A and B are shown apart, each in its own frame.
Chain A
Amino acid sequence: MDVQLKRGSIEVCVLAKLIKGDSYGYQIIKDLNAIVPISESTLYPILRRLENQGHLTSYSQAYQGRLRKFYSITPSGMKKVEKYLYDFEDLIRIYRFIERNYENER
């Protein structure tokens, strides 16, 4: 898969995961594992970027005597998810067109 496209999609996956409720690093990795396995070192830059862009916010909460950082989606993050879905409709039309032509030729 195209790196740019994939990276953008993972970002949106992370945001989408947070729609249901706040979550923390390891839980996010586990939740995404079924669709896109990502490593700890892939997630960090994504979280950081999303936070810098204001798509998510974070807060620390005590858990068993240590701190866990939780992430929550912001309204701007919601917009990003919506935009992704909207843009993807175009992509799907393009995809269908490519697929149709490819199938017809065979």
Chain B
Amino acid sequence: MRDEFLNELESELAKLEYEEIDAIIKYYDEMILDEIDDGKDEKTVIESLGSPREIAKEIVLENSLRIRPSNHSHKNNIYTYSPEGICKLECDTVTSKIEIIPSDDDNVVIEVANDSRYSDINVRNNGSKITIEEDIKLKIIGKIFNVQNADLKSEIIIHLPKDACFEKIECETTSGSINAEGIELENLKLSLGTVSGSIDLDGVIVNKLEIESVSGRLKLVDSKANKIEADSVSGMVKFEGCQCPNIEVETVSGSIDVNVEGDEEEYKVEISTIKGDKEYNPGAMYRLSMESVSGRINYSFM
């Protein structure tokens, strides 16, 4: 009830400056909790506050509050680095959608678009490592910064040149999704993680691939690596035509659907579920391991 009230209030206040919304939501949240701690019933407290619409109206009238300008204050920045000597890239963000694509020229180009009222995205290059970090300015209790709000979503596009000597790329985002397409860097270890976003990889050829999510979907199409590890709690994992001699997929409740390019005889297949463990072709030289507590497991070769 409290959450409902605060979320409604927040949407009624949507036109205000973020700092203002933040302060108001925190005020009402504290007030409600204090009244409940004082022995009042949650329902009574919420009802006596009145409707979120009326409250919002009153607050806006009373204060001639700062209304947020309607045009976005999206900031676009482009960083260009010569790939020489750079062997690592780390990208750690909260809301950003991350895209990794091949570069048109010989440089590493990082394109950043974000709402500067909400977060700063810092890009640094120390010669051997590029670091991209999102620094959130406002933390709010309600839902507005849970990034339903499209203009708050930031976007990072990483362009990688074909012959770059990257050894390791690590990208993390909380609510954003991660896409990579057409990346062919055979020495690269690519680690991608998201909490609620999805990860989509298409035509990615790397040395080692680690993808991880909590609730987001993991999808791998026409990709190749010497080792692939995919790990999700409730998200589904789907591989379509991947080439890899050592595959490990693990979920808790998400379904697993793996399609491998190759000969079934060459693979030792390990399946582990709550019902028990199975192993096929124990002597085979390649390995496909799939483990799930309650998710459905499916695999095929082509």
Contact of A45 (CB < 8 Å), options: B28, B31, B35, B62 = B62
B63 touches A26 (CB 8 A): no
The chain A residue sitting closest to B34, CB to CB, is: A26
The chain A residue sitting closest to B65, CB to CB, is: A48
B58 within 8 A of A: yes
Contact of A40 (CB < 8 Å), options: B28, B33, B38 = B28
Q: B24: which A residues are within 8 A, CB to CB?
A: 44
Q: A83: which B residues are within 8 A, CB to CB?
A: none
The chain A residue sitting closest to B23, CB to CB, is: A48
Contact of B58 (CB < 8 Å), options: A27, A41, A66 = A41
A41 touches B63 (CB 8 A): no
B33 touches A66 (CB 8 A): yes
A68 within 8 A of B: yes
A25 touches B31 (CB 8 A): yes
Separation of A74 and B172 alpha carbons in the complex (Å): 44
B58 touches A26 (CB 8 A): no
Separation of A44 and B49 alpha carbons in the complex (Å): 12
B28-58 interface with A by 8 A CB criterion:
28, 30-31, 33-35, 37-38, 49-50, 54-55, 58
Shortest C-beta distance, A87 to chain B (Å), equals 23
Interface string of A34-78 (1 = CB under 8 A from B): 000001110011011100000000000000101111000000000
Separation of A39 and B27 alpha carbons in the complex (Å): 13
**Band of interface residues on B:** 20 to 34
Separation of A68 and B33 alpha carbons in the complex (Å): 10
A40 touches B63 (CB 8 A): no
Shortest C-beta distance, A1 to chain B (Å), equals 18
Q: A66: which B residues are within 8 A, CB to CB?
A: 30, 33
Separation of A45 and B55 alpha carbons in the complex (Å): 11
B59 within 8 A of A: yes
Contact of B49 (CB < 8 Å), options: A26, A40, A64, A67 = A40
**Band of interface residues on A:** 10 to 19
Q: B54: which A residues are within 8 A, CB to CB?
A: 41
The chain B residue sitting closest to A46, CB to CB, is: B62
B220-247 interface with A by 8 A CB criterion:
none
Q: A64: which B residues are within 8 A, CB to CB?
A: 37
Separation of A64 and B36 alpha carbons in the complex (Å): 13
Shortest C-beta distance, B218 to chain A (Å), equals 34
Separation of A40 and B6 alpha carbons in the complex (Å): 14
Shortest C-beta distance, A61 to chain B (Å), equals 11
Separation of A45 and B64 alpha carbons in the complex (Å): 10
B26 within 8 A of A: yes
Known contacts A25-B27, A69-B27, A41 near B50 by CB under 8 Å:
yes
Separation of A75 and B271 alpha carbons in the complex (Å): 72
Task: Point out which of B23, B34, B54, B58 has the most chain A C-beta atoms below 10 A from its C-beta.
Answer: B34
Separation of A62 and B28 alpha carbons in the complex (Å): 16
Interface string of B14-25 (1 = CB under 8 A from A): 000000000110
Shortest C-beta distance, B277 to chain A (Å), equals 42
Q: A26: which B residues are within 8 A, CB to CB?
A: 30-31, 34-35, 38
Separation of A17 and B54 alpha carbons in the complex (Å): 28
Known: A25-B30, A41-B50, A69-B27. 13 other contacts (CB 8 A): A24-B34, A26-B31, A26-B38, A39-B49, A40-B31, A40-B49, A41-B49, A41-B54, A44-B24, A44-B59, A45-B58, A45-B63, A69-B26
Interface residues of B, Cβ cutoff 8 Å to A = 23-24, 26-28, 30-31, 33-35, 37-38, 49-50, 54-55, 58-59, 62-63
Q: List 10 A-B contacts (CB under 8 A).
A: A24-B30, A25-B31, A26-B31, A39-B50, A40-B49, A41-B50, A41-B54, A67-B30, A68-B30, A69-B27
